[in-house]
Amino acid sequence: MDTPSAAARRLHQRGKSSLLKALSGDDVFVEDRLFATLDTLTREVDVGEGYRFRITDTVGFIRKLPHHLVASFRATLEEAKEADLLLHVIDAAHPVWEEQVEVVEAVMEEMGLEQKSVVYVLNKADLLPDPAAFLERVREHYPHAVLTSTLSTDGVAALRDALRTSAQALRPIAQIRVPVADGKLLARTAPRRGSAGGRRRPTAWSW
């Protein structure tokens, strides 16, 4: 099965790169500057329970991005078009973060990406006076939003959980039909995990 992919988007560069670094543990170029790098950076990260996600750090956006710039940088956002999921990284401590969200979403709509599945990632939770209350308010508009901080060891745990849930949902379901009389084949295809590491009794269906 192909590893599911996600593309990170944000108004500026810093934040997306910091999260990618926190998730992967790799050194990632981080600078709070518009288009600090035009190269998309991809890392495959472990999201737990045997699932992995391929995450790409796309270029940052700019407020009121001119149409000619949208066209110029369209090629750098191809990863967003191909991704299974978009991560909208938001500076939770910014006084007008909601306006910044609207700016990015307007650009994504221009590029025909408004129908993509999105996880809203509110970063910099460490700068909030009451993170729990803030997240509760945010989830009134974005029910599946997560709060993160790259300054603590477990600061991206909620994002990792959200990615794992998405990976589970994206896993294809295979339907296997086994003749009920074929005991050998039933034994080979039965799930091997059970309580205390034992086998679960195989279940058979007949048609």
Q: Give per-residue pLDDT as tens, 189-201.
A: 766 554 444 444 4
Does position 131 have pLDDT exceeding 90, yes or no? yes
Average pLDDT over residues 103-114: 81
Give 4-32 pLDDT, tens digit per residue: 999 887 766 555 678 888 888 765 444 44
Does position 128 have pLDDT exceeding 80, yes or no? yes
Cα separation, 66 vs 24, in Å, equals: 33
Cα separation, 12 vs 118, in Å, equals: 18
Cα separation, 13 vs 31, in Å, equals: 7
Average pLDDT over residues 68-77: 60
Q: Is the entire prediction scored with pTM above 0.85?
A: no
Does position 38 have pLDDT exceeding 60, yes or no? no
- Hey, what are 118's tokens? 């999105």
User: When comparing pLDDT for 170 and 30, which is higher?
Assistant: 170
Average pLDDT over residues 157-171: 93
Does position 61 have pLDDT exceeding 50, yes or no? yes
- The predicted pLDDT at position 197 comes to 43
Contact yes or no for 198/173 (Cβ under 8 A):
no
Cα separation, 204 vs 157, in Å, equals: 38
> Where residue 206 falls among pLDDT bands split at 50, 70, 90?
very low
User: When comparing pLDDT for 70 and 87, which is higher?
Assistant: 87
- Average pLDDT over all residues of the chain: 78
Taking residue 117's Cβ as centre, other Cβ atoms within 10 Å add up to 13
